[in-house]
């Protein structure tokens, strides 16, 4: 077998960064794409008519034409799959080290995640932690359709997406007590210690046994979310922020996520509301399930209506959204938490203000009154 050797490429004088933010052209490299309600409905009908596969998963992926064929996603870091279950059907168990956000767009059902039952209805949202066995059940008399947002493309790009079909339902990641582990194996006598006011050295024992944060499967019922969301419509036309709530998972901490990789937010847009143009490094996927309107991305106008799915904001593209004559409800998924942890979330809330690295510098404020 021939030995693999690395290429040596002279970059003298080229600089560390290939392109500055001003020279990036996101709308050209990864432009907005609209998947219409008609396309989605045709796929639902087609999937419902085929025999159920052995693993129970009738599903399609919606893939951006700019995506790498080896790491298909609807944006570079998010895969969007649509799955259909007929009444009485269920999927076989599966687990993987990618995390997920699930969103029911039609019908009802039950998800079992490591023994926990989540009974969901239309427009409910729930998450799946990493490497926890799960399965879906349509225990109703109607068709069930679900979107699943996953960070699988990123893991596949890194060649570390691990998937296990039909694991034991009791399978879980083993959590070893840190003190017990240390007493069994021995520990560094020095521990973690400072070498100046801000800088520390950490031993191997702590490196391979960091503090654990329990990752739970959480459920955000639409009835509760909508009740709180509708109150934001009263903020009035003078409000300069976006009327939304993040479905927040406390284990993500300061990165403000639904999963460690991305957030899911629910937005209400009252009639005839036009957002201010803004931009951010994170990329956004919107599913509009009520109302209609348009988005302007890098100067180009895109019309959308209820039932449409759209990559509405490629990373660092200038964009804004507007509603027509009725309220709009939408689910937005962005890879913002991942960028916060990578210290790469460049955000420009108003084009009149300088950009900031959210999470490591002071962010932005709206004109909403406290209370």
pLDDT at 234: 85
Question: Is the model's pLDDT at 20 over the cut of 70?
Answer: no
Calculate mean pLDDT across residues 299-303.
Answer: 96
184 CB burial (10 A radius; 0-12, 13-18, 19+) = exposed
Calculate mean pLDDT across residues 320-332.
Answer: 97
> pLDDT per residue over 218-229, tens digit each?
999 999 999 999
Question: Is the model's pLDDT at 39 over the cut of 60?
Answer: yes
Question: Is the model's pLDDT at 310 over the cut of 60?
Answer: yes
> pLDDT per residue over 256-290, tens digit each?
999 999 999 999 999 999 999 999 999 999 999 99
* Strands 263-269 and 328-334, sheet pairing: antiparallel
pLDDT at 115: 85
pLDDT at 29: 82
Q: Which residue has the tokens 């976006």?
A: 242
Residue positions counted in the chain? 371
Q: Where are the domains of the chain?
A: 29-167+221-357
Q: What is the 8-class DSSP label of residue 326?
A: S
Out of 3.40.50.1000, 2.60.120.10, 2.40.50.100, 3.30.930.20, the CATH code matching 29-167+221-357 is: 2.60.120.10
For residues 286 and 307, what is the distance between their CA atoms, to the nearest angstrom? 10
For residues 136 and 108, what is the distance between their CA atoms, to the nearest angstrom? 11
> pLDDT per residue over 164-202, tens digit each?
999 976 655 554 444 444 444 556 677 899 999 999 999
Helices within the chain (DSSP H only):
26-29, 37-49, 152-157, 178-185, 204-207, 222-230, 336-342
Question: What's the pTM value of the predicted model, to 2 decimals?
Answer: 0.91
Question: Which residues, including other chains, have CB under 8 Å from residue 96's CB and lie 6 or more apart?
Answer: 130, 131, 152, 161, 162, 163, 164
Question: Is the model's pLDDT at 24 over the cut of 80?
Answer: no
Question: Is the model's pLDDT at 298 over the cut of 80?
Answer: yes
């Amino acid at each position: 077998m021939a030995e693999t050797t690395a290429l040596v490429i002279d970059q003298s004088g080229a600089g560390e960064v290939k392109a500055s933010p001003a020279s990036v052209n996101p709308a050209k490299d990864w432009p907005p794409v609209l998947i219409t309600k008609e396309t989605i409905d045709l796929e639902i009908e087609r999937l419902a008519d085929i025999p159920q596969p052995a693993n129970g998963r009738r599903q399609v992926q919606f893939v951006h034409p700019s995506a790498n064929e080896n790491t298909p996603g609807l944006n570079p870091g998010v895969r969007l799959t649509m799955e259909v279950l007929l009444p009485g059907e269920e999927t076989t168990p599966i687990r993987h080290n990618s995390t997920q956000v699930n969103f029911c767009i039609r019908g009802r059902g039950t998800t079992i995640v490591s023994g926990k039952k989540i009974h969901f209805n239309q427009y409910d949202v729930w998450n799946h932690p990493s490497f926890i066995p799960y399965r879906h059940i349509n225990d109703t008399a109607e068709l069930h359709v679900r979107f699943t947002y996953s960070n699988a493309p990123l893991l596949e790009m890194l060649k570390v997406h691990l998937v296990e079909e039909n694991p034991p339902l009791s399978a879980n990641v083993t959590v070893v007590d840190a003190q017990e582990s240390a007493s069994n194996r021995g520990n560094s006598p020095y521990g973690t210690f400072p070498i100046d006011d801000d800088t520390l050295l950490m031993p191997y024992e702590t490196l391979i046994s960091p503090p654990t944060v329990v990752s739970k499967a959480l459920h955000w019922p639409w009835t509760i979310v909508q009740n709180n969301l509708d109150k934001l419509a009263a903020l009035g036309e003078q409000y300069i922020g976006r009327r939304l709530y993040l479905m927040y998972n406390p284990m993500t901490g300061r990165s403000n996520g639904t999963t460690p990789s991305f957030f899911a937010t629910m937005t209400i847009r009252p009639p005839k509301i036009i957002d201010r143009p803004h931009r951010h490094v994170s990329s956004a996927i919107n599913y509009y399930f009520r109302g209609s309107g348009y988005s302007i991305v890098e100067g180009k106008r895109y019309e959308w209506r209820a039932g449409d799915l759209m990559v509405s904001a490629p990373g660092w593209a200038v964009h804004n959204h507007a509603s027509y004559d009725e309220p709009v409800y939408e689910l937005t998924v962005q890879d913002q938490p991942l960028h916060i942890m990578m210290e790469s979330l460049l955000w420009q809330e108003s084009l009149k203000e300088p950009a900031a690295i959210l999470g490591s510098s002071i962010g932005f404020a709206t004109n909403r009154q406290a209370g």
